[in-house]
């Protein structure tokens, strides 16, 4: 049972890391895609800040997942596999 709990706690931490990685990639890529769409449509005005998304809540949730995963994994490890 402890091995299963240790695995899932580490999985939760990895999922949190993947969420942070994905949101940072989206914030880097979306302004580039917005520029390409602006150049293709040739209308209106372009501002990179219009395409930066707000991921504060999602990033806080990911940090919470990482923290919970690491703490639970450490406690399970110290209790013994």
| pLDDT tens-digit series, residues 9-35 | 999 999 999 999 999 999 999 988 888
Q: Which domain holds residue 22?
A: 2-79
Phi and psi based region of residue 57 (left: phi greater than 0; alpha: psi -120 to 50; beta: remaining): alpha
- How confident is the model at residue 42, as a pLDDT? 73
Domain count for the chain, please give it. 1
Answer whether residue 81 shows pLDDT above 80. Answer: no
Are 46 and 38 a contacting pair, CB within 8 Å?
Answer: yes
15 touches 73 (CB < 8 A): no
pTM: 0.83
């Amino acid at each position: 049972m402890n091995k299963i709990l240790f695995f899932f706690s580490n999985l939760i931490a990895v999922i949190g890391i993947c969420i942070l990685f994905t949101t940072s990639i989206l914030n880097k890529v979306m302004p580039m895609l917005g520029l390409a769409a602006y150049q293709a449509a040739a209308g209106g005005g372009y501002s990179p800040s219009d395409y930066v998304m707000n991921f504060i809540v999602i990033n806080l949730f990911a940090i919470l997942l990482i923290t919970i995963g690491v703490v639970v994994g450490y406690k399970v490890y110290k209790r013994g596999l």
